[in-house]
Structure 1
Amino acid sequence: MSLRVVADRGLCQGHQMCQGEAPDVFGFDDGTDQVTVLQEHPDPSLRPQVEAAVRYCPAMALALEEE
């Protein structure tokens, strides 16, 4: 089973908390002021950081899916 990162760019408010928690997985588009997903299927070792990014997103724009 693999981990898939999902970002709802319509909900993103540009707080960049996700970058602080998981900088290898989340980036930021200065042009749109929104999150970008750098790794849609990150290595399982990054799961704790990705879970923290999802948990602390003020806009609740991030999710994890099991595939």
Structure 2
Amino acid sequence: MTTPEPAARLHIDWTRCDGRGLCAELLPGALSRDDWGYPLAAAGRVRASADQSTVPLAGTELGAALDAVKLCPTLALRLVRPHPSSGPQ
């Protein structure tokens, strides 16, 4: 079984984040929060050995992800879309 390519990835810049948690509220399926309120990839979103600051998103989550990026008061979020030529060959 192969995992479908994500529609986009949400990059979290933890050096900018102050742990308000709005992004986790907007994307409950993609993000959880640690004990201090900082966003983390939700369980099962990324492998334990993978970059935990870049969370894959499904197409249905793009609207909420855009809202999270726009509403983040510290500009700690960035939406990264796949390059058009990165699709299946």
Normalised by the size of structure 1, how large is the TM-score? 0.83
**SS of the residue 1:41 aligns to:** strand
Which has more strand, going by share of residues?
Answer: 1
The aligned residue for residue 51 of structure 1 is 66
Describe how 1:16-55 pairs up with structure 2 within 5 A: 16-30=21-35, 33-38=37-42, 39=45, 40-55=55-70
Moved over 2 A (4+): none
Q: Which has the higher contact order (CA 8 A, sep 6+)?
A: 1
| Aligned-pair identity (%) | 23
Normalised by the size of structure 2, how large is the TM-score? 0.65
Asked whether the equivalents of residues 19 and 26 of structure 1 are also in contact (C-alpha less than 8 Å), the reply is yes
Q: Return the offset for 1:33.
A: 4.1
RMSD: 1.7
* Runs of 5+ consecutive residues of structure 1 not aligned to the other structure: none
Question: How many pairs are equivalent?
Answer: 66
* Runs of 5+ consecutive residues of structure 2 not aligned to the other structure: 46-54, 83-89
Measure, in 1, the Cα distance between the counterparts of 2:75 and 2:25. 15
> Whose Rg is larger?
2
